[in-house]
Structure 1
Amino acid sequence: MKLALHINDYSGIGPPARMASALARIAATAEDTGFSRLSLTDHLWQVSMVGEEYEPMLESYTTLGYLAARTRTIELQTLVTAAMYRPPGLLAKIVTTLDVLSGGRAWLGVGAGWNEEEASGLGLPHAAQAERFAHLEETLRICLQMWSDSTDSFVGEHYQLAGTLNSPQALTRPHPRILVGGGGERVTLRIAAQYADAFNVFGGRDAGQKVARLREHCEKLGRDFDAVEKTAFLPLDVTAPADLEAALADLRRLHELGFTTVYAAVADIGSVTPLETLGSKVIPEIAAW
């Protein structure tokens, strides 16, 4: 099993003038202590599950570009981009650019999106759930076409591109890996089974059910179930010895359900001490599972 670092809270890393240096230190520590990936939330206002909407929030792809220059090996992505926030051709170009400038370390993490208040507040596109899923699926089709040899037009229900020229192409071949996030069993997991290299769900008590539903979708589509990586999101607090044991128990539970990567939102990340604890006491143990 692998551990990825997920950053969804910037409130504890210092004032704006110190954010760049703090993030560089966090990313370097994560890389040096054995985290395989670094993901950022793709929101523009803080979400209620984490904090208050007025708390600091950085635009994710700008931040990933900065962190690409401050790291060497850790893989980079969002967890996850709301498909409607950026036109698909632009999104493909953004992820391609990140992949080229990071030396082939970019993922496309994408989902249908949900935050209507944020979208309405900043004038971003939002729609009813069924339409958001349709946008997500067309976004994936467009990205895959732009990462192919085709420069043909794309004509869909929601997007029309006169040509899908994408130069330079990504370094990752055949294309940057795709992760679809979201736990919807009927549509989201079907889209993941059809298009994704990985899927991501919350690592709660129903996580095993999501794996079972993914398997069913893969069987219906004729997709190799083992070709889709199973990943989970999990808040981790390792500030006390009992917390460390609880974290290991949660990680083992997810491993036994078939998950191979966990994206950890680590408490008190500003001090980097929790990252060092995870790197010395957790990552070596779960690597053997």
Structure 2
Amino acid sequence: MSLKYGLYLPQGFTQELAGIEDPVEAYETLTRLAQTADQSGYDSVWIPDHFITAPPSQEMIFECWTTAAALARDTKRVRIGQLVTANSYRNPALQAKMASTLDVLSHGRLTFGIGAGWYEPDFRAYGYAYPDGPERLRQLQEAVQVILAMWTQEEATFEGNYYQMRGAINQPKGVQQPHIPLMIAGSGEQVTLKLVARYGDACNLQGDLATLEHKFAVLKQHCKTIGRDYESIHRTALTLCIIGDTDEQARAL
């Protein structure tokens, strides 16, 4: 499997747009970087799903899905994804419909990233309930089933503890076949990686090489348990990358 590189765009979450006073200029800065990635051989661009900065401040931050829709028009080749959608912020049936539309807008370039959500200030400030981790994971487990049903069934029906659908129609379902790639983020070995093995087309982890090696081994075992081809899962990691003209220069930075 070849190594591919994606670019985590400056959406504002870590205050990387600080100092830019004009919101249009801030948006154009983000767009120019996405277009540079599009023209420079990067495989993908990614947008975090947060509402306020870390730590909370008055600095600008752009909403994930509307930004992704704009980038679908402003780029031509590069894949577009969320790193990652916080499940609790949007009803998953609606979220699946949004993703289907975005896949069409991008001519089939969407990778739909989703996770349980973790940044408590977002939840509290915008009035969302912030249940404990196990409950957020139970919600995520139902949500990925809802989303896949919306992408694959003519009239999607689901009866869960958190989400319900009764004959939901979603047309168009998107461009990609058999459906939009679903990336599930998180490294929990007992729940999240099992969800990846059962439902995910891709996973996203964080950590050093030893941590990643261990987590991928756990995922491989979960795949073996349910009879899933481990190699069919696209394995990704979010990490910092320091670029220099030489190895020595990069290390010095």
In the superposition, the TM-score normalised over structure 2's length comes to 0.90
Share of identical aligned residues, percent? Answer: 33
Report the Cα offset of residue 7 of structure 1: 2.0
In the alignment, which residue of structure 1 is the partner of 2:5? 3
Shift of the 12–82 alpha-carbon distance from structure 1 to 2, 3 Å rule, reads: closer
Report the Cα offset of residue 239 of structure 1: 5.4
1:222 to 2:222 alignment? no
Report the Cα offset of residue 24 of structure 1: 2.1
In the alignment, which residue of structure 2 is the partner of 1:211? 216
In the alignment, which residue of structure 1 is the partner of 2:125? 121
Report the Cα offset of residue 134 of structure 1: 1.1
Q: Which digits, 9 at most, give the CA deviation of each residue in 1:137-163, with x for residues without a partner?
A: 111111111111330421111111122
The equivalent position to 1:44 in structure 2, one of 41, 46, 51, is 51
In the alignment, which residue of structure 1 is the partner of 2:91? 87
Structure 2 unaligned runs (5+)?
none
In the alignment, which residue of structure 2 is the partner of 1:23? 30
1:155 to 2:155 alignment? no
**Contact 1:85–1:125, Cα closer than 8 Å, also in 2:** no
Report the Cα offset of residue 129 of structure 1: 1.1
Q: Which digits, 9 at most, give the CA deviation of each residue in 1:178-233, with x for residues without a partner?
A: 11111111111111111111111014241111111101111111111101111100
The equivalent position to 2:206 in structure 1, one of 199, 202, 207, is 202
Shift of the 20–54 alpha-carbon distance from structure 1 to 2, 3 Å rule, reads: closer
Partner amino acid for 1:181?
A: A
Shift of the 24–9 alpha-carbon distance from structure 1 to 2, 3 Å rule, reads: closer
Partner amino acid for 1:33?
A: S
In the alignment, which residue of structure 2 is the partner of 1:174? 178
1:144 to 2:148 alignment? yes
The structure with higher relative contact order (CA 8 Å, sep 6+) is 1
The equivalent position to 2:77 in structure 1, one of 73, 87, 94, is 73
Please give the root-mean-square deviation of Cα atoms over the aligned residues, in Å. Answer: 2.0
Alignment size in residue pairs: 245
Structure 1 unaligned runs (5+)?
248-266, 268-289
Q: Which digits, 9 at most, give the CA deviation of each residue in 1:248-282, with x for residues without a partner?
A: xxxxxxxxxxxxxxxxxxx9xxxxxxxxxxxxxxx
Report the Cα offset of residue 164 of structure 1: 2.0
Report the Cα offset of residue 45 of structure 1: 1.3
Shift of the 244–186 alpha-carbon distance from structure 1 to 2, 3 Å rule, reads: farther
Report the Cα offset of residue 102 of structure 1: 0.7
**Contact 1:154–1:164, Cα closer than 8 Å, also in 2:** no
In 1, the alpha carbon distance for the partners of 2:68 and 2:132 equals 29
In the superposition, the TM-score normalised over structure 1's length comes to 0.79
